[in-house]
Structure formats: structure tokens, C-alpha cells
Structure 1
Amino acid sequence: MEKDPGLNLQHYLWKDGLGYLLHPSIPLPPPETNYRIADLGTGTGIWALDLARQLPSTVQICGFDISSAQFPHPNYLPSNAKLEVMDSLQVEPPEELLESFDIVHLRLWLGIVMNGDPSAVLTHALKLLRPGGYIQWGEIDPNRGIAEGPNGEEAPHVAKILNVQAKIKDLRWIPALPKLFAQYDLEDIKEDFAFEQSWQSKMIADSSCAVVQEMANNGSRFVMEKLERVGVDVPKAYEEVCGGARLTQPFCVTVGRKPIKMSV
């Protein structure tokens, strides 16, 4: 698995844009409780480790990923955090983890969810969640993105970058997450929606251009044909970005609470 230092930058952009790690509707645990939080697709562990600093040491935070390649060494982790290998695309979690977490967090699964169907991941997450616990799922949504110049003028090459990011996969499930949560009988469903701070827009645009350039360099034939069909020109898009063009995609957070009695 390739390491992606950009995951840590994305984390702080999310944190600044939204203003929180845990949605304000999720109650914080009392200091002396045996409270457990899971972070699925933890990557570098940045969300879990940042949150661990903010919560009482009695709260245990567990980050899970299919590979440990991006994990910090265990000696460097806070006492209330651990990172472990687990495949969250498998519907059935290990038996010892069933209904063992008070909060399950997911973020940026859009590159992993296949065929526009996140149901396997959601089912896995809900099996980890105790009755009455909360799930928080965050995604960016290219289909609700913005590509424009600094004064609202057109930025055609940046717009093509956004178009490719929106159309390369079926991402219609992202704005439909609140409806999907309801179909799974979750309660107290809330959706939040925010963009990065304006001064961070160049970082976001640079990152998007770099992602598409990587696709152009190492993508499949399908990806290459898509880029050619759209007419993507990454160097010209970079020129627009350096001139102040903005390419931004909203941070979308969906929260729900598992009923006290629920079968998944």
C-alpha cells in the first residue's frame, strides 16, 4: 500500500472547515466511563490520534485499516489510542468487536466504495456499534463542488479537473447518505456541509490537480480515455490555480444514532 502524506493535510483542512472532529450533536463521554470509539479506514491514524488528545484518557480510540503501512510506531501512540489491521469491506467484523463501540467514524471512503454502493461498509460499521451509539460519516462531494476564478469568473481548465473527479466513479451515494441512514433505521440523523477556509483554497486546488495528474500518469485505459474525453490539461489548470482559481469540494458529514433495539 502506498503511503499518502496528503491524508494528514486533508485532516487539518477538514478540521478547520468544519470546526470539529466529532459532530456537536454527538454527546461527549463522561470522564469516568469505559467509552470506545472506532475509526474505520484510519490511514495514518491522524483523526483518531488528534481526537485522543482532546478526550479523557479513559476513552479508548481504535483506528482500523486494511494495512498498517501508514501507522505510526506503537511506541509513539497515546495511551488511549491503538491502530489495528481490519478489512472494513467485510460485512462481518471479528466477533469480539461486535457492538463494542459507542461511536464509529468513517471519512473519505469515496475512492474505495465500489459500484456506488456503500451498504457493506455501513453494515460493518453498524455491527461494531453498541445500541444507542453514534455513527459519523464524512465525505467530499465533487458533484457539489465549485470551480471558478477569484472574482467568480469561469476557470475552464479547473472546471474540467472537477468534472473528472465527479464522474470517474458513481458518487451519487454521497448526498444520499442521510436517506440510506434512514433506510437502516438510524435515528437523530443530521447532515452538515462546509467548505475549507478561503485562504486554504490553493492547497485544495493543488491537491486536486496532483490527484488528476497521478491518474494521467498511472491510470487504467478507462481513466485515460475519460481524461482525454473531458479534455483535461493539468498544466493549464495549474496556471489557473496560480492565478487564483478555486477548485473546492464540500465536506459533507452525516450522523445517525443506532436504536436501542436494532438488528443489522
Structure 2
Amino acid sequence: MPNPDPAGDFARFPTGYILDRSHLAACRLNLQHFLWGETFRFTIHPSITLPAKPAIADVACGTGLWLIDAAAQHPEARLHGFDIDLSQAPHPSWLPPNVKLSEWNIFDDIPDEWIGKFDLVHVRLLLLVFSGIDPKPFIEKLYRLLRPGGYLQWDELDCVNMHVRKIDRNIAAPALEGLRTMCYAEGRHDWVLQLRDMLSSAGFEAAALEKYGDNPTLARAYNDLHLHTMEEIATRLLQMRKEDEAAHVFGLIREGYGEAVNGAALCLPRIVCVARKPS
């Protein structure tokens, strides 16, 4: 029997959102939001200047926590969240009064009423959605959502520089290394580090990309978050009837957890890219 190749299968997943939308998946997104907040120490990047009473969009808003944070920090703003599926977000009655949500598939055209309406468009975690898909048409849509002089903030994962961190380099962590290789997905996610140039080519100005690593105090928390994500991917492999590959990934997760107990952690850096639509 050939050796299962989860890295190859990860690279050949069907396009679109491949993770779950259950309550556990919502918990993963919420934990991720709070960990990213501890790492970034901002919701809206400090280089962004907003007008009085700004209109802010969050594309692929997920559980809505970024919108809720931004609404608390900018009560004068009008915030609009978009996602293809709003089942993980709070009921509209539980949202701040200045937040509303709408369904939108980012591969569809932009409804006319949203074109040129926003002073800030925020995007986060579309790495898997654009795995092996050209993100340039989507970037053009983000450009069209903005008013002249408006800003784009894109927060994303950096699989290129993913690594296994250890308290002692002599510690063996083959399972976590296996998961790292799987996440690299044969280079299908390298486009993230080209995002600044992509935005400039699309007409944005002053595009800047910043990198954020893991603080050692959060390394274990991030590691366990990544293992949770890997479990969702392994479950998806089962749904694709790839039982051998799924069993291999589940095994790596179990072994990787033990490696984490011994002082190793899967570290997946983040980037934030900010750019401005010309006035």
C-alpha cells in the first residue's frame, strides 16, 4: 500500500472553505480571534486614519468578533459584515446597534449598493479559500468596495515561514514536522507573501506588509489551536473517503500533542497588509 500523502491531498482539496461550520469550529475561530488580538494588540492597524463616522466592512466575517471589537472601539462607525454563511455569527438581536450582517459569496459580483461605500475594508483568513486559486479578481472587488482614500487591512497566515519551535533543539518532534509539511501544501499558499505587490498592481497605494511571530508565552496555545484545525481537516479527508490519509493525520495530531507536552510547538506566523485606495 502506498504511503498516505496528506500534504499532497491538502494541496488538492476542492476550492472554497474546507473547514467545518459547527459549534466547535466557531470555538476555534473565537479562540483564534482572541489569540490574534493578544499578538497584534490592535483591531484596526494604527497606520489607518478613519474619517468621522466611518463605514467599515468585514469580508468573510465568520463569528463576527472582529466587528464587535471594532464597534466597541468606534461607536460612531457603521459596520457591515459579509459572509457566505452567517450561521456562526450572533443573532442580529445580539449584535451592537451599529453592526449589520449580509450574506455574500466573494466569488459573486458585488451588489451595486455596496460599491464605493466603505472607508475601511477588513479581510482575514482567506488562505484556504484561495489555495490554488488566483486572488487577484477578489482583490479587485475589495478595491471597488472602498471609497477613494479608503483603506484595506488584510490579516493572514504565513505558511511559508511555518516552523516547529522547541525549548531544546535536540527534542524530537517528527509529528509536528509532518503537520508543518502538510500545511505548506506544496507551496499553494505562497501567494500570501506576495500580497503587497498584488495590491500595488491592483491600483492600491502605500501598500505595507508586517510580519508577526509567536510570543513564547502563547506558543502552546497557538499549537493546540493548530492541532484543532488539523482535526477539522482530517475529518474532511474522511468525508472525501480518504480513510488512510485521515488516519495518518489523526495519528500525527495525537503524537504532536505529546510532543507539545515535551516542549515543542507548531508556530504559524501571521502577516498584516495595509494599503490605501487613491483619493
TM-score of the pair, normalised by structure 2: 0.84
Cα distance, 1:128 vs structure 2: 0.6
* 2:165 paired residue number: 148
Matched, 1:247 2:270: no
Structure 1 residue 122: deviation in Å? 1.1
Quick one: distance in 1 between partners of 2:230 and 2:244? Answer: 10
**Which residue of 2 is the match for residue 40 of structure 1?**
59
Extract unaligned runs of 5+ from structure 1: none
Q: State the alpha-carbon separation in 2 of the partners of residues 224 and 123 from structure 1.
A: 40
Higher relative contact order (CA 8 A, sep 6+): 2
Q: Secondary structure at the match of 2:191?
A: coil
Corresponding position of 2:16:
none
Pairwise CA distance, 1:226: 9.2
- Spell out, residue by residue over 1:205-231, the C-alpha distance to the aligned partner (whole angstroms, 9 max, x if none): 112222223333331367965985x99
Calculate the aligned-residue CA RMSD, in Å.
2.2
Query: Which stretches in structure 2 are left out of the alignment for 5+ residues?
Result: 1-19
CA distance in 2, matches of 1:193, 1:224: 36
Mapped pair 1:23 → 2:45: yes
Kindly tell me: are residues 71 and 168 of structure 1, through their superposed partners in 2, closer, same or farther at Cα, counting changes over 3 Å? farther
Distance 1:169 1:218, change over 3 A: farther
CA distance in 1 between partners of 2:100 and 2:160 (Å): 35
* Cα distance change on mapping 1:255 and 1:213 into 2, 3 Å: same
Post-superposition offset of 1:89? 2.1
Contact 1:160–1:231 (Cα < 8 Å) also in 2:
no
Match of 2:94 among 65, 72, 76: 76
Tell me, in whole angstroms, the C-alpha distance in 2 between the residues paired with 1:93 and 1:231: 39
Runs of 4+ deviating beyond 4 Å: 221-228
The amino acid that maps onto 2:30 is N
Aligned position for 1:52: 71
Conserved 8 A contact 2:234-2:250: no
Equivalent pairs, count: 254
Shift of 1:114: 4.3
Residue number in structure 2 paired with 1:190 = 208
Letter matched to residue 151 of structure 2: Y
State the secondary structure of the residue aligned to 2:57: strand
State the shift of 1:73 in Å.
Answer: 1.2
Q: Percent identity?
A: 31
Call closer, same or farther: CA 1:132–1:28 in 2, change over 3 Å.
Answer: closer
What is the deviation of 1:58?
Answer: 2.2
**Cα distance, 1:168 vs structure 2:** 6.3
Residues 205/25 of structure 1: CA separation in 2 closer, same or farther (3 Å cut):
same
Q: 1:2 to 1:26 in 2, by over 3 A?
A: same
Deviation at 1:16, TM superposition (A): 1.1
Kindly indicate whether the alpha-carbon contact (under 8 Å) linking 2:71 and 2:98 is maintained by their aligned counterparts in 1.
Answer: yes
| 8 Å CA contact 1:161, 1:208 repeated in 2 | no
Contact residue 147 and residue 277 of structure 2 kept, 8 A: yes
Which of the two has greater helix per residue?
2
For residues 73 and 36 of structure 1, do their structure 2 counterparts lie closer, same or farther at Cα, with a shift above 3 Å needed?
same
Q: Distance in 1 between matches of 2:243 and 2:190?
A: 19
Shift of 1:197: 2.9
The answer to whether structure 1 residue 113 and structure 2 residue 118 are counterparts is no
* Cα separation, 2, equivalents of 1:96 and 1:224: 48
In the alignment, the residues of structure 1 paired with residue 57 and residue 30 of structure 2 have an alpha-carbon distance, to the nearest angstrom, of 18
Contact kept in structure 2, 1:40 and 1:64, CA below 8 Å = yes
Secondary structure of the residue aligned to 2:193 is coil
Q: 1:196 to 1:223 in 2, by over 3 A?
A: farther
